[in-house]
Amino acid sequence: MSFCLETYLQESENYEILISRAGFKECKKIIQDHSPEIVYVKAGEKILGVRIIGVPPIAIGIDEEKGTIALPYTKPCYGTAVVELPVDKEEIDNIRSVTIESP
């Protein structure tokens, strides 16, 4: 499945914003507190069709039971938010394939 986060956020309401207009450290803390599994990726890694920016390593939360991920999303003029959205197992596997060792 090809997934594009930009398009998904524009066309769907099936996501939750856990925090908005936050700093990178604050976003990481929200993801770590909210998600049962945390993986880390390098800054600039392409996740769900967009490059993830922030202070590395960047945390991405996975909740396989709910079928969701939580990730930081930075949009110019709007700042950084943590978005939780449903994804299929294939996308979770894709994210796990680009993880780095945790800090």
pLDDT tens for the chain, 103 residues long, are 445 676 767 677 888 999 999 999 999 999 999 999 999 999 999 998 888 988 999 999 999 999 999 999 888 788 899 999 999 999 999 999 999 976 6
Burial (CB count within 10 angstroms: exposed 0-12, middle 13-18, buried 19+), residue 21: exposed
Cβ neighbours of residue 3 closer than 8 Å, sequence gap 6 or more: 48, 49, 87, 91
